[in-house]
Amino acid sequence: MVQMENNKLLEGLIMAKTTVMLATINDVKNFVTSVSKCDYDVDLISGRYAVDAKSIMGIFSLDLSKPITLEAHTDDASAFFAEIKQFIVD
């Protein structure tokens, strides 16, 4: 089940949130391929670190042993979340 939280940002944009798990190198590669298709910003947040989800090097700088918060800066992330559903955890 995907839980999305919509929060208004200062710029007036909407943000959709979920949690993902990227357990293998292939998971990261496939995830970045999917995220790179987005024309909006997507961030991954682990603890106090936030990286661009389109950056494979940025993702590998995070602790991938536990789930990571994903923030998509768009008002409709449903198609994107459907594409990455294999990485989404409850």
> Each residue of 36-79: pLDDT tens digit?
999 999 999 999 999 999 999 999 999 999 999 999 999 889 99
Residues with Cβ within 8 Å of residue 87, at least 6 apart in sequence: 20, 21, 22, 27, 31
Helix (H) or strand (E) holding 33: helix 25-35
Overall residue count recorded for the chain in this entry: 90
pLDDT at 84 over 50: yes
Full-model pTM: 0.83
Strand partners, 42: 72
